[in-house]
Amino acid sequence: MAITWQKMRADYYRQGGNQRGFTLIELLAVLAILSIITAIVLPQVNTVLNYLQLRKDAVEIAREIRVARHQAIALGRGVKVRFYPHHGYYRVYEPEARKCNLGSGISYEYVSFPPDVRQWVFCEFDSLGTPTAGGTVALRNAQGQRLYVIVNPVVGRVRVSSNPPVR
pLDDT in tens, 73-132: 999 999 999 999 999 999 998 778 899 999 999 999 999 999 888 989 999 999 999 999
φ/ψ bin of 144: left (φ > 0), alpha (ψ from -120 to 50), beta (otherwise): left
Total domains in the fold of the chain: 1
- Burial of residue 34 (CB within 10 Å: 0-12, 13-18, 19+) is exposed
**What does the pLDDT read at residue 1?**
54
CATH number at residue 82: 3.55.40.10
Residue 14 maps to a domain: no
Residue 55 is part of which domain span? 24-161
pTM to 2 decimal places: 0.76
Identify the band that residue 166 occupies on the pLDDT scale cut at 50, 70 and 90. confident
Residue 48 maps to a domain: yes
Of the listed ranges 11-25, 58-72, 98-112, 148-162, the least confidently predicted one is 11-25
In the three-class reduction of DSSP (H, G, I as helix; E, B as strand; rest coil), residue 136 is classed as strand
